[in-house]
Amino acid sequence: MLKIKDNINLRELEKFGFSIIEHLWLGQVPDNYYHYTGDGMVEINIKENSRHIYIIGDGSYDCDPDCVDVIFDLIQSGLVEKVKGE
C-alpha cells in the first residue's frame, strides 16, 4: 500500500492539485477532483489521518494515465512510501 510519509506536511499536496474536503484530500485528475475514462470515473483520495493513497474507480478496470502521472509525480517528489496494508 502507498501512503504519504509521516514527516510530510499534507499541504504539500496542494502543489499537485489536491484539495481537502472533510478530512479527505481529493486529487484533481485532471480537474474537478475526478477523471472520466471511457468506461467510468477514477479518482485519487488520500485519507488525512492514515495518509493512505486510494485510487477509486466505478468498476472500470482501465488504468487511467492521468492517475498514474499524479502518483508518479508524488513518488518522484519524495512524498510517498510503501507500507504493508493495514
Amino acid present at 30: P
Instruction: Locate 76 and state its grid cell.
Output: 518522484
pLDDT for 33: 46
Domain regions of the chain by residue span: 2-82
Instruction: Look at residue 32 in the predicted model and tell me its pLDDT.
Output: 44
pLDDT, tens digit (0-9, with 9 covering 90-100), for 9-68: 999 988 988 888 877 887 765 544 455 555 556 678 888 889 888 877 765 555 566 677
pLDDT surpasses 90 at 75: yes
Note the Cα 32 to chain centre separation in Å: 13
Type and span of the H or E element at 67: helix 65-76
- Determine if the peptide bond prior to 65 is cis (ω within 30°): no
Strand residues in the chain grouped as ranges (E): 2-4, 18-21, 24-27, 35-36, 41-47, 53-57, 80-82
* pLDDT attached to residue 40: 59
pLDDT recorded at residue 28: 61
